[in-house]
Chains A and B, each alone.
Chain A
Amino acid sequence: MNWTVRVLVSTAFTLSVLCSAMSAAQAHGVRSMITHGSQAWVAVAVFSDGTPMSYTRVTVVGPDATMPFQKGFSDKNGKFAFVPDRPGKWTIIFQDPMGHRSQASTIISMSQGSKEAVVKAPVSSDYTLLPTGIKALIGLCFIMLLALLARTFRHRH
């Protein structure tokens, strides 16, 4: 086995172990969720280790709207309160200049004669689709594939 193949194989193995360990340890991803009180709805964003996304820029987009319904910053505990004025799908985006972004959507319906909102669909978050470890593994496989393709291509030319 030549040096190139040994490096690629040992890299893939080491990083697979590392990334499996990381899926159980602290990761740099973020997630957010929406809950509701009697008047206002509260969106919360936390990093995957539970640390709140404090003082982060928040954008609330109402149903079928292109312009934001509300903009502001989360509080110390990563929470942001808003009062929806119509039923439909509401989206809340947490985003800071460091590059962390989390988006959650929920369907809100107004009960008769009341401003109280009721959850009709489970809260969704784009960070819960795949575990961080799996995403990391996909990325590492892609890098290895790219390296092998580059070597093959260069050998032919």
Chain B
Amino acid sequence: MHISEGILSPEILLAGAAGTAIGVTMGLRSLKNGDIPKVALLTSAFFVASLIHVPIGPSSSHLVLNGLMGIILGWEAFPAIFVGLALQAILFQFGGLTTLGINTFNMAAPAIVAHYLARPFLKQGGLGPVGLLACAVAGGGSIMLSALLVSLSLALSGEGLEAVGRLIFIVHIPVAIIEALIATFTISFLLRIRPDMIIPGWTD
């Protein structure tokens, strides 16, 4: 879902960069010293997940894990995704440096939504069915929200990119299902072995 350089209009690029600047600032301000290993771990997972190629019809996609990052990290997901995408752009030419802002925003903003969606249910439900359902919705929904933002970015840039945007949305439905399962199992597992990693101060 990385948008390449030379496709989007300057207005969309600037808006994305501004949104990312705000998000990264918020993330760095909320970053606690003890959270740095957790952020590094999830940044690494995000960076590596992009290398696992999932063929979908005539195109292809890969795991994103932004929903899972959002649930665990909250606003800290913004700098984590920014670093992951910057490394992907430099090392693998996925996306580009001028589109780093909009690509980060498109991936990280849904992560924040996932965070606020899942967190209240986790506190109330713990390992219960409501909490797991909230994780699944947050994990899968963040992918679909990212696909929607990418589609909107393309559609607003004109050049008849609406059809491409629709395609991106459709091909990410299987990815969303996979990520819903990953988020559910990961959060469930972490709540059992390291609950304080999900909710600070909460121990089993």
Interface residues of A (CB under 8 A from B): 3-4, 7-8, 11, 15, 18-19, 22, 26-29, 47-49, 51, 54-55, 76, 95-102, 126-127, 132, 135-136, 138-140, 142-144, 146-147, 150-151, 154-155
Q: B61 → chain A, closest Cβ, in Å?
A: 7
Near A by CB (< 8 A), chain B positions 48-72 give 48, 50-53, 55, 58-62
- CA–CA, A26 to B48, complex, Å? 12
Given contacts A4-B34, A15-B48, A28-B62, contact A146 B83 (CB under 8 A): yes
- CA–CA, A50 to B47, complex, Å? 22
CB-based contact B33/A15 at 8 Å: no
- CA–CA, A151 to B50, complex, Å? 26
Residue B9 CB within 8 A of the other chain: no
CB-based contact A135/B41 at 8 Å: no
Count residues on chain B whose CB falls below 8 Å from chain A CBs.
Answer: 45
Most buried by A among B6, B39, B93, B94: B93
CB-based contact A7/B87 at 8 Å: no
Across the two chains, which residue of chain B brings its CB closest to A103? B93
Q: A102 → chain B, closest Cβ, in Å?
A: 8
Q: What are 21 inter-chain pairs, A to B, with CB distance below 8 A? A: A8-B40, A11-B40, A18-B48, A22-B48, A22-B52, A28-B53, A28-B60, A28-B94, A47-B60, A49-B53, A96-B59, A99-B2, A99-B4, A100-B4, A126-B93, A143-B83, A143-B84, A143-B87, A147-B36, A147-B39, A151-B36
- Cβ-defined partner of A140 (8 Å) among B2, B44, B53: B44
CB-based contact A7/B60 at 8 Å: no
CB-based contact B51/A136 at 8 Å: yes
